[in-house]
Amino acid sequence: MRVTDEEGFGCVWAAAGAQTHPSILVLTLAVVTAEFIVYAYISVVVGHNVGSASATIATALMIFGIGTTAGTLAGGFLVDRYGWRRMLRTSTFVIAVALLVIPFAHNAVFLFLRLVVWGLFGWTFTPTQMNRLLDTFPDNGAMLLTSNASAVQLGVAGGGLVGGAVLATLGAGALAFAGSAVVWLALLLSWRGTRATEPVPPQANR
């Protein structure tokens, strides 16, 4: 019997849980959107805070890149060591605080420290969500990872769009505030959603 794409997607959706799966993807979309509100215009943010000298911007980008690389490499290890629930809350909280502090960082060294902390924890978020999906929906994890990747790409595009609107209306100083506000909202969602997405153990036969 031939199964259509629509039927196949419906089976995966039902197996994953129609309430919990969207909440995970919304969290991914929210956090990535928030980060790219700032990241898409990071040179503007650095220029606004500590000056637009090319050497300063290049150094900021290099330091931020070191943080993101370390976060990507350490993400899987940290999830294995501390669990995705703790890492999810920690990463979103640190991202929110780091972005909130950036507008007040008018010293280059202080700004660079904020950027490396943001990069480190910001780039542990995606592997944490991937582990969350695989842990919560082990039978359909591979399919749902594709959906999560799509949410990441939408967040990249949406963050650039929202960041452009914020930059045009409120100026460069508001970019990190806007990103932080979205992450704080995502953090509230994660606190509510982690309990809902815990795997339900099979009931023993009576």
pLDDT at site 21: 67
Collapsing DSSP states into helix, strand and coil, what is residue 76? helix
Angle, CA of 186, 82 and 29, to the nearest 5°: 20
CB proximity list for 192: less than 8 A, separation 6 or greater: none
d(CA 92, CA 77): 17
Q: Tell me, what's the pLDDT at 52? A: 85
**What is the per-residue pLDDT for 203?**
47
Torsion of CA 16, 18, 20, 22, to 10 degrees: 100
- What is the pLDDT at residue 190? 63
Quote the pTM value.
Answer: 0.81
**pLDDT in the model for residue 20:** 54
Blockwise average pLDDT, block size 10, the chain, 206 residues = 41 40 85 95 94 91 94 88 90 92 94 94 90 84 83 95 96 95 83 53 46
Gap between the Cα atoms of 190 and 175, Å rounded: 23
Q: Where are the alpha helices (DSSP H) in 17-171?
A: 20-39, 42-50, 54-82, 84-101, 108-122, 125-136, 141-169
Which residue is listed with tokens 């637009």?
A: 52
How would you classify residue 205: left for phi > 0, otherwise alpha for psi between -120 and 50, otherwise beta?
A: beta
